[in-house]
């Protein structure tokens, strides 16, 4: 029996919707929480036990300052979310050695092998997983990249060794683009180091496999997601399962993922990314994201309501995977659950200005609702949100999911389009129609236009005080309309 280490105080070292997402789970687990905030960015702190003010936005990346806070508030565990320091082996190591504080995630050793793109490639090669030809050593010299490009041919992809979220990636189609692309990638690399690999573009799908491990070698998969629809290498639409019809090929990708994860005795949540060509029946390993991802909620709906954050927190306390992983989930890679899920990201961007960040104040908002719809956001009704230039533009994530009945992908896409339309018009163009049956005659219907209740029907109501029967003829405020159906 593994030793359980209960979490006494949890610091969420992040902000925005992911901080709110983590809070929703930790509240269910009755774990005291601490959140961080800057003066103009506090909406994600509303449901935490305590909130701590930071001197500046850059403090989210200041390891020494965070260590000081952890010591001052006697915090024993940190959830890094995604972005910021979530893939930093140094952050995980220093918190453990200097503050005796555990960072939820794979730990410094596994982060060193998977968070760095070149190290992750080496792991793939060690496990005989196919990788694209690439520079073997990181560099900051355009001449090294040019030599590589002449050897393998164009196009190539230039990547920051420690990039993430689409940053530090450039596709180079010809030699005249090389110097500028390398310069831009270097600027977006914290370590100012890049590498290059042969580009696989035409006919390839971007597939990622969600796994979870407990550090003992036990690893389980939760099938795959597809994120081929991107803008500037930033995922904007994600769905699961993938659009690949060849499930045997998908099974090979999932098995390759499990092989790599077991090799390093992976701990916590991780995502392994691949480029997959159904036409050529081949796949290439790309990278590992050793953390929770923005699109983890797609898998939560695919896996029939599994709470990945809950699993992550329980495993961080010492629980074994066999004790917390749902037994009702199958593990056949070729047979995903009979559900289809699709996610769209809602961002504060100016479409007319090349998708530039759109700053300002959000005074009100409305998101879609209905069967099979889930929205994750830190925006709070009645509390204006200030959108500045300090943080990412992500405001919310909307998802639709449908159980397998006919064409599940078509049903989910149709539902997603319908919910997007609801954002612009909450008022129906036509009143709802009900069958003309005798029991509907002389009934009056109250239709809830916006915010109060669902449509319902009333016929007669017995007055308890006078014990007489009276007809109901008044219905709430002016926002509601009464429709009379003639006999």
Q: How far is CA 376 from the centre of its chain?
A: 9
Other CB atoms within 10 Å distance of the CB of residue 271: 23
Three-state SS annotation for 306-354: CCHHHHHHHHHCCCCHHHHCCCCCCCCCCCCCCEEEEEEEEECEEHHHC
Same domain, yes or no, for 241 and 326?
Answer: yes
Same domain, yes or no, for 99 and 186?
Answer: no
Sign of the torsion angle spanned by Cα atoms 160, 163, 164, 170: negative
Residue 172 lies in a domain: yes
Residue 467 lies in a domain: yes
Of 9, 113, 170, 291, the catalytic one is 291
Same domain, yes or no, for 350 and 456?
Answer: no
In this prediction, residue 416 carries a pLDDT of 59
Same domain, yes or no, for 159 and 187?
Answer: yes
Residue 431 lies in a domain: no
In this prediction, residue 446 carries a pLDDT of 30
Same domain, yes or no, for 381 and 242?
Answer: yes
Sites in the chain below the pLDDT cut of 50? 406, 423-487
Other CB atoms within 10 Å distance of the CB of residue 74: 10
Residue 289 lies in a domain: yes
CATH number at residue 137: 3.30.1490.20
In this prediction, residue 432 carries a pLDDT of 38
Question: Based on the structure, what is the number of domains in the chain?
Answer: 4
CA-based max dimension of the chain: 94
What's the pLDDT tens digit per position in 64-117? 999 999 999 999 999 999 999 999 999 999 999 999 999 999 999 999 999 988
417 is catalytic: no
DSSP 411: H
Bond preceding residue 241 cis, omega within 30 of 0: yes
User: What is the pTM for the complete model shown?
Assistant: 0.82
Contact predicate 261/253, CB 8 Å: no
What's the pLDDT tens digit per position in 103-148? 999 999 999 999 988 999 999 999 999 999 999 899 999 999 999 9
Same domain, yes or no, for 219 and 275?
Answer: yes
Same domain, yes or no, for 221 and 190?
Answer: no
Q: What's the domain range around 72?
A: 10-104
Question: Which among 164, 198, 232 is the end of a domain?
Answer: 198
Same domain, yes or no, for 391 and 286?
Answer: yes
Same domain, yes or no, for 45 and 191?
Answer: no
Residue 292 lies in a domain: yes
């Amino acid at each position: 029996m593994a030793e359980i280490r209960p979490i006494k105080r949890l610091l969420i070292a992040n902000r925005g919707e992911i901080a709110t997402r983590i809070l929703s789970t930790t509240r269910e687990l009755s774990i005291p929480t601490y959140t961080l905030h800057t003066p103009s960015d506090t909406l994600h702190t509303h449901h935490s036990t305590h909130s701590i003010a930071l001197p500046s936005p850059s403090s989210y990346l200041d390891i020494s300052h965070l260590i000081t806070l952890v010591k001052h508030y006697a915090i024993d565990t940190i959830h890094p979310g995604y972005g910021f320091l979530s893939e930093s082996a140094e952050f995980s190591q220093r918190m453990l050695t200097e503050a005796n504080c555990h960072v939820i995630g794979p730990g410094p050793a596994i982060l060193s092998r998977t968070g760095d793109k070149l190290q992750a490639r080496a792991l793939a090669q060690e496990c005989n997983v196919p990788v694209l030809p690439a520079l073997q050593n990181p560099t900051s010299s355009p001449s090294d990249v040019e030599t590589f490009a002449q050897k393998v041919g164009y196009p190539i992809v230039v990547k920051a060794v420690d990039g993430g979220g689409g940053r530090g990636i450039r596709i180079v189609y010809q030699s005249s683009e090389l110097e500028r692309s390398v310069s831009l990638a270097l600027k977006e690399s914290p370590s100012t180091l890049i590498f290059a690999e042969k580009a696989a573009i035409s006919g390839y799908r971007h597939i990622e496999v969600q796994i979870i491990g407990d550090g003992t070698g036990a690893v389980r998969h939760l099938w795959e997601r597809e994120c081929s629809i991107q803008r500037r290498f930033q995922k904007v639409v994600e769905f699961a399962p993938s659009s690949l019809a060849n499930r045997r090929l998908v099974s090979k990708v999932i098995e390759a993922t499990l092989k790599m994860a077991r090799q390093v005795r992976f701990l916590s949540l991780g995502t392994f990314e691949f480029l997959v060509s159904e036409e050529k029946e081949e796949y290439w390993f790309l990278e590992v994201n050793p953390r929770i991802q923005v699109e983890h909620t797609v898998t939560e709906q695919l896996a029939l309501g599994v709470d990945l954050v809950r699993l992550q927190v329980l495993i961080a306390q010492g629980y074994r995977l066999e004790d917390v992983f749902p037994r009702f989930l199958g593990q056949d890679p070729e047979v995903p659950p009979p559900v289809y899920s699709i996610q769209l990201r809602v961002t504060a961007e100016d479409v007319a200005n090349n998708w530039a960040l759109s700053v300002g104040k959000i005074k009100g908002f409305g998101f879609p609702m209905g069967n099979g719809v889930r929205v994750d956001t830190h925006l709070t009704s009645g509390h204006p949100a200030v959108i500045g230039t300090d943080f990412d533009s992500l405001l919310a994530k909307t998802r639709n999911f449908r159980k397998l009945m006919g064409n599940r992908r078509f049903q989910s896409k149709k539902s997603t389009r319908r919910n997007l339309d609801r954002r612009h018009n909450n008022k129906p163009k036509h009143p709802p129609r009900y069958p003309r049956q005798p029991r509907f005659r002389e009934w009056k219907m109250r239709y809830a236009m916006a915010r109060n209740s669902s449509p319902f029907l009333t016929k007669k109501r017995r007055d308890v005080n006078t014990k007489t029967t009276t007809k109901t003829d008044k219905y709430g405020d002016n926002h509601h309309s009464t429709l009379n159906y003639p006999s």
